């Protein structure tokens, strides 16, 4: 069985999503205080969705843009991976993973 891995950015995103619930990319960037970049936040989220850590849903808005808003939330699996990762980090003395 493959052990799930988390990069520092993925851990940060999961932490924010677990703490604050559903968020979209720009909110995550603003909340991260410079640790996440606008250009790569959705790439990271896409990778996390492939791993099953996060899920997303779209909200259609009739504002003429033709682009729905995408909200992300942590899955149960993602939350468990984060807590296991933080536990492992604390036991091994990594600080905050």
Q: Which of residues 52-91 bind other proteins (CB under 8 A)?
A: 56, 58, 63-70
Q: How many CB atoms lie within 10 A of CB 23?
A: 19
- By CB under 8 A, is residue 42 in contact with other proteins? yes
* Residue 7 DSSP symbol: -
Q: For residue 72, what are its two tokens?
A: 């992300």
Residue 32 binds other proteins (CB under 8 A): no
37 near other proteins (CB under 8 A): yes
Task: Return the residues of window 7-26 that contact other proteins according to CB under 8 A.
Answer: 24-26
Q: What is the Cα–Cα distance from 71 to 46, expressed in whole angstroms?
A: 12
Helix axes 25-32, 38-51, angle to 10 degrees: 110
Query: Where does this chain bind other proteins (CB under 8 A)?
Result: 24-26, 37-40, 42-43, 45-47, 49, 56, 58, 63-70
């Amino acid at each position: 069985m493959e052990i799930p891995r988390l990069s520092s950015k993925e851990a940060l995103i999961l932490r924010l999503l677990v703490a604050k619930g559903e968020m979209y990319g720009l909110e995550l960037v603003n909340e991260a205080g410079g640790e996440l970049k606008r250009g790569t936040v959705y790439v990271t989220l896409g990778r996390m969705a492939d791993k099953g850590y996060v899920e997303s849903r779209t909200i259609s808005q009739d504002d003429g843009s033709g682009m729905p808003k995408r909200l992300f939330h942590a899955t149960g699996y993602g939350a468990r991976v984060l807590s296991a990762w933080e536990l492992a980090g604390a036991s091994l003395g990594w600080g905050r993973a």
